Amino acid sequence: MPEYSLSPTGEKFQLPDQKDYLKELERLKMLVNSQRSLKKEIVIVMGVGFVGAVMAAVVADAEDSKGNSTKFVIGMQRPSIRSFWKIPLINRGLSPISTEDPEVALMIDRCVNRKKTLTATYTYDALKFADVVIVDVQCDYLKESLGNVRNGQAEMKALEESFEIIATHISRTHSSSLKQPSHLEPQSKLPIPSCEKYLESVVSTRIHF
C-alpha cells in the first residue's frame, strides 16, 4: 500500500518505490553530466530543513567575478513520511521553510527555475557525484536542567547516521573508480573539532586512500 508525505499546506506526495529510485538516479546523472560540462562544482547538501534549504540556495546562487554560476547543488533529504514533501516543493522552486527573509524564497525560485543550479533528491546515490558534501541535519543539545547549559549532552544520532551514509557511499564510489568528494563540511551546533574527529573515524574505517 502506497505511503504519502503531507506538506504543511495539505498536499500529498507519494513516497518513492524501487522503480522511482532508478529513474531518479538517471535524472541526476543527466543533470550532473550537463553541469560538469559547464565546469561547475557538484555540491551535495544533506538535509533541506531550515538550515539546509538556505545553505543549498546560497551555494547554488554563487557566481564568479564574471557573473557565471560556479556550483550545481543537489539538496538531499531522506524520503520519510515527515519530510519527503520538501523534495518536490524545492524542485518546483518553492521554499520548504517559512522565514521572515523574503530573499530565501526568491533565491530558491531563481536557482531552480532560472539559473538551473539547484535540484533536490531522495536518493543517497547522489553522493557518488559529489565534489563537496555539506551536512545540515538536526543536532539538538539536551539540557539536564533549565537554564544550565553546562550540564547536558548533544543528540548526535542524526549526525552520526549521516556520516555513516556518506562513508558508505564514498566507499562505493571509490571502488568503482569514480571521484571522491574533495571536502566534507559538517554544519552543526556542535564544536567543529568534535564533528571532524567523529567523521574521520567513520570514514577512515571504510575508505583506503
How sure is the predictor about 179, in pLDDT bands with cuts at 50, 70 and 90?
very low
For the chain, give the number of residues: 209
The answer to whether residue 60 sits within a structural domain is yes
Q: At what angle do helices 50-60 and 102-109 cross, to 10 degrees?
A: 50
**DSSP sequence for 13-56:** EEPP-HHHHHHHHHHHHHHHHHHHHTTPEEEEEE--SHHHHHHH
Residue 79 is assigned to a structural domain of this protein: yes
* Confidence (pLDDT) at 10: 95
Query: How many domains does the structure of the chain reveal?
Result: 1
Residues 151 and 206: their CA atoms lie apart, in Å, by 34
Question: What's the domain range around 35?
Answer: 4-203
Give the global pTM: 0.77
With a cut of 90, say whether residue 118 has pLDDT above it: yes
**pLDDT at 50 (0 to 100):** 86
The answer to the question of residue 209 being in a domain is no
Residue 192 belongs to a domain: yes
177 has a pLDDT exceeding 70: no
Q: Which of 1, 69, 8 is nearest to 34 (CA)?
A: 69
Give the CATH number of the domain where residue 101 resides: 3.40.50.720
Averaged pLDDT for residues 64-88: 95
